[in-house]
Amino acid sequence: MAKYFGGCDLGSTTGKAVILKDGKVVSSATIRSRIDPVETGKEVLELAIRQVEGISSVRDLAYLVGTGYGRNEVPFANENVSEISCHALGANFLDSKVRTIIDVGGQDVKAISLDEKGAVLEFAMNDKCAAGTGRFYEAVVRTFDVTLDQFSALSLKAKKVVPVTSQCTVFAESELVSLLYKRHSPADIAAGVQLSVAKRVFTLVRRVGVKEKVVVTGGCAKNLGLIKALEKVLRVPISDLPLDPQLMGALGAAVVGWRKG
Amino acid sequence: MSVFDITSASVSLPERFSTYRQRIKTFTNISGMGLRLGTRFMMEAPRKYPWLKTLLTADTLFDMSTRARRGPYRQASAWALSEVIASITDMLEGVFGNPEKTVMHEDLVPPEILTAMGLNPWMAELLGIMGPLIRSDFAEEYIDAAENEGTPPDVCSLPKATMGLVLKGQMPHPKAILTSNMPCDGGMSSYTLMEKRLNVPCFRLDVPYNFYDDRSAEYFAKELFRAVDWLEEHTPGRMDWDRLREVCTLRNRATEFQMEVWDLLREKPAPMAGEPLYLGHMIFQVAMPGREKSVRYFETLLAHAKKIRAAGGALPDERYRIALWNPPTLIYPELFAWAEQRYNAVMLMDMISYNRHPYIDTKSPETMMRDLARIIMAGPMARHTRGPQENFFSDLFELCERFSMDMIWMAGHIGCKNTMALSGMFREKCRERGVPLLIINYDLSDTRVVSPAEVRKQAEAFMETVMKAGAPVDSEAKAS
């Protein structure tokens, strides 16, 4: 009988689940985090399980690993592993040449340096404030009155970059309002936001060293404007991953279970 | 889990009794000091020196140091703490009992000279060091006092706490101050403030920057001779060269025993770790060297280490060895006992304890002063944080090799600009050598910057992610 392995990443903003069978991703799900992390875990796992024929509940999984901020709260988990290790394992599972991961999540930013086996060599994280994270972008798009996708596309249309100096989410919001009132082009300001986040991430990545291949994981990895700004600041190409980068933690968690057989 | 996040080890009644005996001894020592100093002191001191109340609770340190430990290692830890506190009490008794003979000094000054002159050495920073060890938020009111008087917030919190004690009028009044051109800018400026506030004469030793040649040693020795002349002029102290010879001989003997302990530390599992090593060094080789008590401390420490070795080591299942760079985490001394219990990781050596310990040639006043000068120049702050960076790293990697360390924990005190400036280079050098490095972001004496719980979280993340030491025990329990 086929064995299914689950990984569940309860992040600050979203809950993610991945199910593996024979070393292949057979289903995944992402939902917005609920107030109760246990509810988030139950719901996202249920969504992922529903897409797989042959299993109907969490109990049918051969092994379930929890990760993320709420890793202790994943219902029925056999084990929990830190999200840093899981992002490294997930990225290594997809591409063993990855040596540097920049995880831009909903609430923090992490830079991870890993070896050819996916083991973490060093990491650095910023979890003191929301600057340069998904929460920051949520505040920014509210000011621009656009969606995240529209904001990303807008920043790529910039003809020049209007510098945004405030790193703090709260101050950046008011700075953006004043820049918009000064009639600067929204695209140029958007490019300024992306560059300001990229510079902040740069200082963090420098702490672990920039070694190619570099990939970006987490929800903000879908922001192409940020990826371009990071390439410019880091002066290295950012590689694509063959799976939704937001799922990397959950995938790594599932890989932990799968490797245990 | 206790407040320290350390679970009590199951120990026998005699073991428990032995710890209590040391606790009682400590309490008796401190209260005995009050009795010996007289009724007037007992009446006035609590109001004048409110920090004495914190010192009275010093026996809480025993919880930190012995709770997780068993057998002879537990006994040695309790004994070491009791000796350390007894010596601080001795020092305070001298300071309170005879202020006319008390000289306040910092740690780039050889206290041996003061002892030989019949003076009481009083290391000004000692209260700022011991206070947070006993009560983690101890220094905060003093830090605030210093900042409210205009000290910049980015100055190291240790001199700020010392300045605060002076500003609040809670520092025992010395006859004179002996300080130096130490590399810590906050520390240097703190002595200017203390000199003015306490209104006492102050002498500043010029420690040379390039200290590898004889010329520098001779220059600094001359500085020490100059300090002796100055002290004779401003205090009742008189240099007794025979007494200095005795003091230096005692220091040499203490060093011999300490080196023997270090030799044993190379064995796996190590026969000693944590506070008996670093607190013992801080008190008996930095603050109060060259005394019978210092010799006895290291001699007994060696005996304890041999006993622990015979019993299978401090942690018979020792898994990791930690080198600590920078001073120990004053606001969270439990960190090391916690690491022992959680990960079977022992902290064996730190930056303050690891200096070159040159022996003192007691042939003549000149040779003694030259070698005392060498000890200071080769000591932690003078040597490590003045530059060039080779001084900082060569000792560190040498000790990593000598004691087969598995990792380095850099206590990244944000107030130390000198060491924080080396962080990037630190990472690169460790990466080149393949040595796992944890830089703990925190402040030495201020829990409001980073709390002890946050310090522990950083260590946990590192141990779990980089050292693959397994998930924390409580999370494992939850997941199962």
pLDDT number for residue B349: 94
Check residue B476 and give its pLDDT.
36
Q: Determine how many CB atoms are found less than 10 A away from the CB of residue B66.
A: 29
B199 touches chain A (CB under 8 A): no
User: pLDDT tens-digit profile of B103-156?
Assistant: 999 988 999 999 999 999 999 999 999 999 999 999 999 999 999 999 998 899
In total, the C-beta contacts within 8 angstroms joining chain A to chain B are 46
Average of per-residue pLDDT across A34-53:
92
A76: pLDDT strictly greater than 90: no
Q: Does B48 touch chain A (CB under 8 A)?
A: no
pLDDT value at position B211?
79
What is the mean pLDDT of the segment spanning B221-231? 97
pLDDT tops 80 at residue B222:
yes
Percent of chain A past pLDDT 70, that is, above it, reads 97
pLDDT of residue B474: 39
Q: Mean pLDDT score of chain B, rounded to an integer?
A: 91
Model pTM score = 0.86
Residue in B451, B434, B392 with CA at minimum distance from that of residue B416: B392
Q: Is the pLDDT of residue A130 over 70?
A: no
Give the rounded percent of residues in chain A with a pLDDT score beyond 90: 57
Confidence of residue A15 (pLDDT cuts 50, 70, 90): very high
The nearest alpha carbon in chain B to A86 belongs to B465
Q: Which residue of A has its CA nearest to B470?
A: A81
B471–A120: do the CB atoms touch at under 8 Å? Answer: no
pLDDT tens profile B24-46: 888 888 888 888 999 988 899 98
The beta-carbon neighbor of A72 closest among B431, B468, B479 is B479
Interface membership of B479 toward A (CB under 8 Å):
yes
Most confident region among A79-83, B17-21, B150-154, B218-222 by mean pLDDT: B218-222
Residue whose C-alpha is closest to residue A131's, from A173, A169, A171: A169
Q: Are B122 and B100 in contact (CB under 8 A)?
A: no
Q: Are strands A120-126 and A109-114 parallel, antiparallel or unpaired?
A: antiparallel
The model's confidence at residue A200, banded by pLDDT at 50, 70 and 90, is confident
Element holding B308 (H helix, E strand): helix B292-310
B56-67 pLDDT per residue, tens? 888 888 888 888
**Cβ distance B169 to B149 under 8 Å?**
no
What is the arrangement of strands in the sheet containing B176-180, beginning at the earlier edge strand?
B120-123, B102-105, B176-180, B202-205
A209 contact B CB<8A: yes
Taking the CA atoms of chain B, what radius of gyration do you get in angstroms?
Answer: 22
ipTM of model: 0.72
Assess A68–B contact: CB distance below 8 Å, yes or no. Answer: no
Residue B4: per-residue pLDDT: 59
Å from A77 to nearest chain B CA?
6
**Distances from the Cα of B227 to the Cα of B10, B12, B99, B111, B202, angstroms:** 53, 53, 19, 12, 10
Tokens of B299: 């001699």
> Which of B465, B476, B478 has the most A C-beta neighbours within 10 Å, making it the best mutation to test the interface with A?
B465
Query: Given a cut of 60, is residue A118 above it in pLDDT?
Result: yes
Contact A66 B479 (CB under 8 A): yes
pLDDT given for residue A128 in this prediction: 62
Note the pLDDT of residue B2.
39
Q: Given this model, what pLDDT does residue A216 score?
A: 96
More confident residue, A77 or A248: A248
Position B1 scores a pLDDT of 34
Can you tell me the distance from the alpha carbon of B33 to that of B353, in angstroms, rounded to the nearest whole number? 29
Pick from B427, B428, B478: CB nearest A72: B478
Restricting to B residues 413-452, those with a Cβ less than 8 Å away from any Cβ of A are: 424, 427-428, 431, 436-437
